[in-house]
Amino acid sequence: MEINTAKRMTSFSSSVFNEIATATKKKQQKGEHVFDFSIGSPDLAPPAFIKECISSLSLEDKQFRYSLTGIPEFHEAVASYYSNKHQVHIEPQTEAIQLMGSQDGLVHLPMALVNPGEYVLVPDPGYTAYETGISMADGIPYFMPLLKNNHFRPDFSSIPPEVAKKTALMFLNFPGNPIPVTATEDLFKEAIAFAKQYNIVIVHDFAYSEFYYTDEQPISFLSIPGSKEVGIEVNSLSKSFSMAGCRIAYAIGNQKIISALKQLKSNLDYGVFLPTQYAAIQALQKGSEFTANTRKIYRKRRDCLVEGLHRIGWKAEKPEAGMFVWAEIPDSRPSMEFAFDLLEKANVAVTPGIIFGPSGEGYVRMALVQNEQEIEEALLRLQMYMEQRTAVV
């Protein structure tokens, strides 16, 4: 029998992340040590009280039933967290929905809001999951270039009116992945005005909200007047509280958008494991000390990596937020070629910028997921690699 896959599968090519992981594993099987900066998965464990909560509740038989939706206490904890952290009021039962990780919401939402042939505005470079969701909804991605000369922020005035009129949805992401820049109030105000003019829904991906290295925390999109009229914000416990494997997050904001997502998800899953929900409540209620300490750790890693890159002649800007360094390639090679050559010859894994969109060419993304000792050793490998390249050239 001949098995034919659906035509839409042509949009889901093998992930470069998988290719890097496969190449890394082959090296490790040979006994080689690889310094892996390619995947943005937190290497820190969650606080003890989260582990203890999941562990103790997992011994109770009643915790293993379907949860179906987020329990009321979770939504209330989200509302309280946003009130305290961002001075944003959320109605727990109508303006919030629990997600199985932020990617769950980001990928599925276009199916609830986008008709086939409609445009979706996406950051370029941007998180790869946005395009996955657009493909599932048969939408058309329209790239908003994030350019260095515009501080890596979108220019809404450059979007043609004929495109804007056929646009259903816009993704924004600050602090960003892969580019770790933050938004300004003026930028969000421009986005809201643009969305109102063309009747476009805004989804702000705020997964790195707790990762900031100055006295000013990143701005919540929902803290801007008029934001709830046009959109929602998606946030996650994966990065902030090192709960990536737990798969728990939430979307908050406009009631109609939240309702549409609830309707869709009621046909897709049966909810998050109950002990995970209770642990997430604990994280939101008393995780501030943990997140403050995490910021100190990541700030040291950022300084170690960026200052080390500067020492070896590789210029990279020091991010004020996020968990990545967006580094311009020190020679003229394509990012894919550079990244795989770096892995092969220096045992340092980074992510080629091109996989995040056309404007990502010429850059690589480096995740701050290694400790300072690993970073220093990786820098020695990078220095030798660059010296060898210079000698050959």
- Res. 214 pLDDT band, cuts 50 70 90: very high
Neighbours of 57 (CB within 10 A): 17
Q: For 70-97, what is the mean pLDDT?
A: 97
Distance CA 243, CA 240 (A): 8
Query: For residue 284, which of 80, 71, 148 has the smallest C-alpha distance?
Result: 80
DSSP code for 212? B
Q: Residue 388's pLDDT is what?
A: 86
For domain 49-287, the CATH architecture is: 3-Layer(aba) Sandwich (3.40)
Residue 321 pLDDT > 90: yes
Residue 94: strand pairing partners: none
Strand segments, DSSP code E, in 215-314 are 231-236, 249-253
Q: pLDDT confidence of 6, banded at 50, 70, 90?
A: confident
CATH number of 7-46+289-392: 3.90.1150.10
The closest alpha carbon to 37, from 244, 388, 245, 346, belongs to 346
The confidence score (pLDDT) of residue 392 equals: 59
pLDDT at residue 206, rounded to an integer: 98
153 neighbors 187 (Cβ within 8 angstroms): yes
- Mean pLDDT, rounded, for 300-316: 96
**Domain layout of the chain by residue ranges:** 7-46+289-392, 49-287
Paired sense of beta strands 140-145 and 167-173, if any: unpaired
Per-residue pLDDT at 14 exceeds 70: no
pLDDT at 271 (0 to 100): 94
Which residue's structure tokens are 């599932």?
136
Residue/partner pairs of 5-12 with CB below 8 Å, 24 or more apart: 8/135, 8/136, 8/138, 11/131, 11/132, 11/135, 12/132, 12/135
Average pLDDT on 192-199 reads: 98
How do residues 41-79 score in pLDDT, each as one tens digit?
899 999 999 999 999 999 999 999 999 999 999 999 999
What is the torsional sign of CA 324, 299, 297, 31?
positive
* pLDDT greater than 90 at residue 390: no
pLDDT confidence band for 15 (50 / 70 / 90): confident
| Contact by Cβ (8 Å): 249, 234 | yes
Judge whether residue 391 has pLDDT over 70.
Answer: no
Query: Which DSSP string do the residues of 120-150 spell out, in sequence order?
Result: EEEEES--THHHHHHHHTT-EEEEEE--GGG
pLDDT-based confidence at 13, cuts 50/70/90? low
Number of Cβ within a 10 Å radius of residue 308: 19
Angle at which helices 102-113 and 255-265 cross, to 10°: 100
Percent of the chain with pLDDT over 90: 91
- Measured between alpha carbons, how far is 284 from 240 in angstroms, rounded to an integer? 10
Q: What is the pLDDT of residues 344-356, one digit of tens each?
A: 999 999 999 999 9
Q: Determine the number of helices (DSSP H) and then strands (DSSP E) in the chain.
A: 13, 12
* Per-residue pLDDT at 290: 97
Q: Is the model's pLDDT at 380 over the cut of 70?
A: yes
- Integer Cα distance of 189 and 141 in angstroms: 23
| Helix, strand, or coil (residue 223) | helix
Mean pLDDT score across all residues of the chain: 95
Using 50, 70 and 90 to split pLDDT, how confident is the model at 5? confident
Q: What is the DSSP string of 36-66?
A: E-S-----SPPPHHHHHHHHHHTT-GGGGS-
Residue 99 confidence (pLDDT): 98
Single-letter amino acid, residue 279? A
Closest Cα partner for 205 from 122, 280, 138, 272? 122
pLDDT tier at 94, thresholds 50, 70, 90: very high
pLDDT in tens, 149-189: 999 999 999 999 999 999 999 999 999 999 999 999 999 99
Residues in the chain: 393
Is the predicted pLDDT of residue 393 greater than 60, yes or no? Answer: no
Whether pLDDT at 208 is above 90: yes
Label residue 68 left, alpha or beta by phi (over 0 means left) and psi (-120 to 50 means alpha).
Answer: left
Q: Tell me: the pLDDT tens digits for 234-290?
A: 999 999 999 999 999 999 999 999 999 999 999 999 999 999 999 999 999 999 999
